[in-house]
Amino acid sequence: MVKKLNRIAKPQRTTFDKARIGAETMEHFTKVSFRNEAAGWQLTVLAEPAALPDADLYLYRDYQFMPGGELDTGEKKLGFLETSSIAISEWLGIGTLKQE
């Protein structure tokens, strides 16, 4: 999982020379903020290796819905949660729980 996160999160160019502080390695993790002002929502996603031995990934998602936005009902918000969760999971290369 660390290799996958490094690949996803690594900037196009690295501006910090890790040797300047004597580091042998440098890892990149994912923290991304998405925003749609017109629709009235904001989403922050953080992905990093899990500290727990039985888990591979710590995934944090923070959704904010502004009053008066397009997602003004519980049903619309849940639909957005579902579609954005699927998109983020696919981007990270992890599976999702599908209902049968």
How much is the pLDDT for 7? 64
Do 47 and 5 meet the contact criterion of CB atoms below 8 Å apart? yes
Domain membership of residue 40 (yes or no) is: yes
Question: Which residues sit opposite 59 in a β-bridge?
Answer: 47
How much is the pLDDT for 58? 84
How much is the pLDDT for 2? 60
Domain membership of residue 100 (yes or no) is: no
Domain membership of residue 99 (yes or no) is: no
Domain membership of residue 63 (yes or no) is: yes
CA pair distance 26, 47, nearest whole angstrom: 16
Host domain of residue 56: 2-92
Residue whose C-alpha is closest to residue 88's, from 27, 28, 32, 19: 32
Residue whose C-alpha is closest to residue 46's, from 87, 96, 13, 88: 88
How much is the pLDDT for 61? 92
Domain membership of residue 24 (yes or no) is: yes
How much is the pLDDT for 48? 83
The domain tally of the chain equals 1
Low-confidence residues in the chain, pLDDT < 70: 1-14, 96-100
Domain membership of residue 56 (yes or no) is: yes
How much is the pLDDT for 93? 80
Residue 52: which residues within 8 A CB-CB, separation 6 or more?
A: none
Domain membership of residue 48 (yes or no) is: yes
How much is the pLDDT for 18? 85
